[in-house]
Structure 1
Amino acid sequence: MERQNDGSGGGGKIKIGVCVMEKKVSCSPMEQILERLRAFGEFEIVIFGDKVILEDPIESWPVCDCLIAFYSSGYPLEKAEKYAALRRPFLVNELDPQYLLHDRSRVYEHLKLFGVPVPTYAVVRREYPNQELNYFVEQDDFIEIHGKRFCKPFVEKPIDGDDHNIMIYYPSSAGGGMKELFRKVGNRSSEFYPDVRKVRRDGSYIYEEFMPTGGTDVKVYTVGPGYAHAEARKSPVVDGVVMRNSDGKEVRYPVLLTPAEKQIARNICQAFRQAVCGFDLLRCDLGEARSYVCDVNGWSFVKSSYKYYDDAACILRKMFLDDKAPHISSTIPANLPWKVSEPVQPFDAVRGRERGTVGISRQSEELRCVIAVIRHGDRTPKQKVKLKVTEEKLLKLMLKYNGGKSRAEAKLKSALQLQDLLDATRILVPRARSGRESDSDAEIEHAEKLRQVRAVLEEGGHFSGIYRKVQLKPSNWVHVPKSNGDGEEYPIEALMVLKYGGVLTHAGRKQAEELGRYFRNNMYPSEGPGLLRLHSTYRHDLKIYSSDEGRVQAATPLARPRSKHRAKSLANWRRAWRTGQRV
């Protein structure tokens, strides 16, 4: 679409200059986004190239309306600043704040200035290697900087933002040693050195408290202050082994940000005046769940997400049009040019191959839910013991767990509840055994059932609450008068129902694993690899519910119980979803 008056001083398209090193232009994410911008038909993409950037004077650089420029190794940032001052294009990322990103201490100071949470830290600056500092003290299991103590484990980062050799020092109680984190080399991202205990003295460093994150790091990518895409990966702290997919790329799982984390992303985007920006987020639980920013990387792309490329192209287009052609920006159509039924462009062909169709208009789809009725896995028979109880210990136990209501049923399933019942039964069983020969058959049967209850509760040596459950149902009451003339009911007899068994067999475990793989790869209808066809943010937050029956939970690899108590932690459910294995 040619524009007669675009507000840029000419009658042609808006010129977008890409003033970055060629290795950044040729990377797949940049190519994907630039191709989408071309597909809109409103922009002319002008790539400067290394020779122009490094050798030519700025006066001879191409004149453009909008400029994409960001620092990478060997990039002349000061020269790009002078060009921007000369031509005054619209800047996606401001150039001056990019100097901040070279100094981690300045990054932390800037983050704190804008209210972004960072780990507790202190800075050690040396003018020359091995310089002795009177404010720095090192002991076996801690260091002190300006009187602030950091106990091991703590993190040591170079102040130089381009130096990615980060160390973690461990206390002697954990065996000591140091783990070095570095940029991926093959399938390694960290190495452990058990004999290294002293911190480095060869330069300037930031020291910060170690934040436990459960073995994952979160990478966040912004495109403007209103958009953020987040992905989790296995932390290099875990074992240093990089998880890769079949294409050789690092395995990452898109995650949903909390409202507080979204505000952090917005604050960082505005604080550093970098519309396209990446930063590292640490999600930890130190008393209260909170997220901390430990690094800001400047211009960063998501490596393999077509949804992200679509979103980034649309947002960048809006930025360019808002600044250079606001009259067009207000009439942006809802449909994307590479998704409508038009003659196939080169980009459409690429998109078609990705989707399995070429140039075909498809009605948008939105998955609301998947409904399936599935029987639990193979299990041992479920068994039941019923007996009437009149013992005061058992009746008091019933009142303890039914809220003190004389006619309410009590369900004992948790480890604490079952332990209370076992303790009471152990006291009652010896009494039951000391019966006289004149005891009736009913009394003998009652004593035998109490011994059976005790044996079932003692089985396995611990309580899981999955395969054992006890119900106490009051069946007879007496009226107990009070001094004021009123009275209340008090249970004198209750029906005890012990349910046990239903243990998952080896065949049942195999069925559960196969069910997980089936859901993951084949359950969602039509094209694509099952539930993996969904946009990954939906996959991460997928919720599958099951009955709160233990045998069902054990055989449902992705399920959360319907009751308010989860059978396993959310981390286990997510791990099962990722691997397709049982919980």
Structure 2
Amino acid sequence: MVTAWPEEDWHSQRLLEALGRRGAASAVDPASLSAFVEEGVDVRAGGEPAGRFDAFVLVRGLGRAGDPDVQFEIYRALEESGAVVVNAIDALLAAQDKFRTTCLLARAGLPTPRAAVAQRPEEADAALEALGDAVLKPVTGSLGEGLLRVRDDAAGREALRERLARDGAVYLQEFVPTGGTDLRLFVVGGAVVGAMERVAPPGEWRTNVAQGARVRAYEAAGEVRAVAESAAAALGLDYAGVDLADGGEGMTVLEVNGNPSWRGILEATGQDMAERIADHVLARATCRLRRGVKSKLQETGATHG
């Protein structure tokens, strides 16, 4: 399990324990990853050859030390070698980038609010005028931090300029009038395995648990389940938190999180998503091992034939 915070991070602890109940599990700091290229690529994790591990689970794959671009390329090298990496780095990066997420959802034909990105004030103003009522979000981010509802007025345009000056770009998503409620569905291995309804606190439109939302169990079925599963698949994620909302015209995908928190679902349902993720990782690692054994047997048979 690759994490920069094996002791401080609650999710890292829960998942390491769950993996440990299924086999030998250890925490690897992303800064301890290295690689040597000769005839092939020799990746090492914490000084150990990568081939000694059956799977790599990226829980907190970026940390205090090291270079993120180097770490991204090492994760890609692992995937290209045939290693099991959950979640894959490009899928994680797609989920982290809200504009990329929107593009992938739209291309997959999934319902998602209109959205825009801009880097100059005039384009940002035009986008806000087109959307009318929008949510200004960091291009990358989570937990409801940095979210601001803006309208096509002087205050909204000033907010755009402040964000442009700070970040260099803005992402706007059409506001969905949900009445302060939405859904978080947890998808693992292509299937919804847990779901909750989130209710924003009084006077607040954000429904993130980190912002004080209340949670209750939700029974996902039919179209709701199908949309969530398709959203995770569109981004190529082994596991994901998919946020859906109904603004009166049917369910729409607000966000897809590739490194989702499951504290809220545990509180609402009593289900620990760490167990589901660990089962999925074990299944993928076992499948890879069996394919390797089958391939070796075929090679041996071909040699003796």
TM normalised by structure 2 equals 0.71
For residues 173 and 79 of structure 2, the distance between their equivalents in structure 1, rounded to whole angstroms, comes to 38
Does 2:26 align with 1:35? no
Aligned counterpart, 1:230: 195
Q: 1:297 aligns with which of 257, 276, 283?
A: 257
Shift of 1:212: 1.1
Structure 1 residue 117, shift from structure 2 partner: 1.0
Match of 2:216 in 1: 253
2:297 is matched with none
Unaligned runs of 5+ in 2: 37-41, 293-305
Q: Choose the corresponding residue for 1:199, options 159, 173, 180.
A: 159
1:83 is displaced (CA, Å) by 4.5
- Seen in structure 2, the aligned counterparts of structure 1 residues 39 and 243 have a Cα distance that, compared at 3 Å, is closer
Distance in 1 between residues matched to 2:279 and 2:159, nearest whole Å: 47
Q: 1:50 to 1:72 in 2, by over 3 A?
A: closer
Q: How has the CA–CA distance of structure 1 residues 28 and 157 changed in structure 2, closer, same or farther, with 3 Å as cutoff?
A: closer
Look up the equivalent residue of 1:155 and give its one-letter code: V
CA-to-aligned-CA distance 1:138-187 (integer Å, 9 cap, x gap):
xxxxxx439x7222x32222334479412112588xxx97xxxxxxxxxx
Q: Deviations over 1:346-375 (max 9, x none)?
A: xxxxxxxxxxxxxxxxxxxxxxxxxxxxxx
The reply to whether residue 93 of structure 1 matches residue 87 of structure 2 is: yes
Give the structure with higher Rg (CA): 1
- C-alpha offsets along residues 170-210 of structure 1, whole Å, 9 cap, x if unaligned? 588xxx97xxxxxxxxxxxxxxxxxx774321332232322
Q: What's 1:80 paired with?
A: 74
Matched residue type, 1:233: R
Contact residue 138 and residue 146 of structure 2 kept, 8 A = yes
- What is the deviation of 1:68? 0.9
TM-superposed CA distance for 1:84, in Å, is 0.7
Which letter maps to 1:28?
Answer: W
Give 1:298 shift.
0.8
Q: Secondary structure at the match of 1:69?
A: strand
Alpha-carbon spacing, 1:275–1:86, altered in 2? closer, same or farther (3 Å): closer
Q: Is the 8 A contact 1:228 1:265 kept in 2?
A: no
Amino acid in structure 2 at the alignment position of 1:60? R
* Corresponding residue of 1:276: 239
- SS at structure 1 position matched to 2:242: strand
1:217 to 164, 176, 182: 182
- Report the CA distance between 1:59 and its aligned residue: 3.9
Q: CA deviation at 1:72?
A: 4.5
Letter matched to residue 89 of structure 2: L
Decide whether the 8 Å contact of 1:218 with 1:282 is kept in 2.
Answer: yes
Is 1:106 the equivalent of 2:100? yes
Q: How does 1:152-191 map to 2 (within 5 A)?
A: 153-161=133-141, 164-169=145-150
Conserved 8 A contact 2:183-2:244:
yes
**Given that residues 30 and 63 in structure 2 are in contact (C-alpha distance below 8 angstroms), is that contact kept between their aligned partners in structure 1?**
no
Residue 300 of structure 2 is matched in structure 1 by none
Deviations 1:30-77 (CA, angstroms, capped at 9, x unpaired): 43343233334xx22132125524x88774323212111254465734
Q: Secondary structure, in 3 states, of the residue corresponding to 1:60? A: strand
Q: Secondary structure at the match of 1:200?
A: helix
**Deviations 1:235-288, CA, capped at 9 Å, x for gaps:** 3683379999xxxx8642121223212122222222222112123222221xx3
Contact kept? 2:185, 2:194, Cα under 8 Å: yes
CA contact (8 A) 2:112 2:252 kept: yes
Q: Aligned partners of 2:201 and 2:157: how far apart in 1?
A: 20
Q: Return the structure number with greater relative CO, CA threshold 8 A, min gap 6.
A: 2
Rounded Cα–Cα distance in structure 1 between residues aligned with 2:98 and 2:207: 25
For residues 229 and 121 of structure 1, the distance between their equivalents in structure 2, rounded to whole angstroms, comes to 28
Change (3 A) 1:50 1:165: same
Q: Tell me, what secondary structure is at the counterpart of 1:145?
A: helix
> Alpha-carbon deviation of 1:234?
2.4
Q: Provide structure 1 residue ranges, at least 5 long, that are not aligned to the other structure.
A: 1-17, 127-131, 138-143, 178-195, 328-583
Give 1:131-530 correspondences, 5 Å limit. 132-133=121-122, 135=123, 137=125, 144-145=126-127, 149-151=130-132, 153-161=133-141, 164-169=145-150, 198-201=158-161, 202=165, 203-235=168-200, 238-239=203-204, 251-285=214-248, 288=249, 290-303=250-263, 304=266, 305-325=270-290
> What's the counterpart of residue 559 of structure 1?
none
Matching residue of 2:39: none
Work out whether residues 119 and 211 of structure 1, in 8 Å CA contact, stay in contact via their aligned partners in 2: yes
Q: 1:317 to 1:60 in 2, by over 3 A?
A: closer
Instruction: Determine if contact 1:221/1:301 at 8 Å carries over to the other structure.
Output: no
Equivalenced residue count is: 265
In 2 relative to 1, CA 22–29 (structure 1 residues): closer, same or farther, beyond 3 Å? closer
Aligned to 1:46: 26
**For 1:274 and 1:241, how far apart are their aligned partners in 2?**
25
Distance 1:236 1:119, change over 3 A: farther
2:298 is matched with none
Q: Please give the TM-score of this superposition, normalised by the length of structure 1.
A: 0.40
Checking the alignment, whether the CA contact within 8 Å between 2:4 and 2:62 is kept in structure 1 is yes
- Give distance in 1, aligned partners of 2:181 and 2:207: 12
What is the alpha-carbon distance in structure 1 between the residues aligned to residue 247 and residue 79 of structure 2?
Answer: 43
1:68 and 2:57 equivalent?
yes
- What secondary structure is seen at the aligned counterpart in 1 of 2:130? strand
Backbone CA RMSD of aligned residues: 3.7
Moved over 6 A (4+): 55-58, 240-244
Secondary structure of the residue aligned to 1:68 is strand
Q: Distance in 2 between matches of 1:306 and 1:204?
A: 38
Distance 1:47 1:310, change over 3 A: closer
Tell me if 1:22 matches 2:33. Answer: no
The AA in structure 1 aligned to 2:138 is P
Cα 1:237/1:111, change in 2 over 3 Å: farther
Partner of 1:120: 114
In 1, Cα distance between equivalents of 2:213 and 2:173: 27
Summarize the Cα distance change of 1:241–1:280 in structure 2 as closer, same or farther, 3 Å threshold.
closer
Contact 1:22 1:50 survives alignment (8 Å): no
Q: Aligned letter for 2:57?
A: I
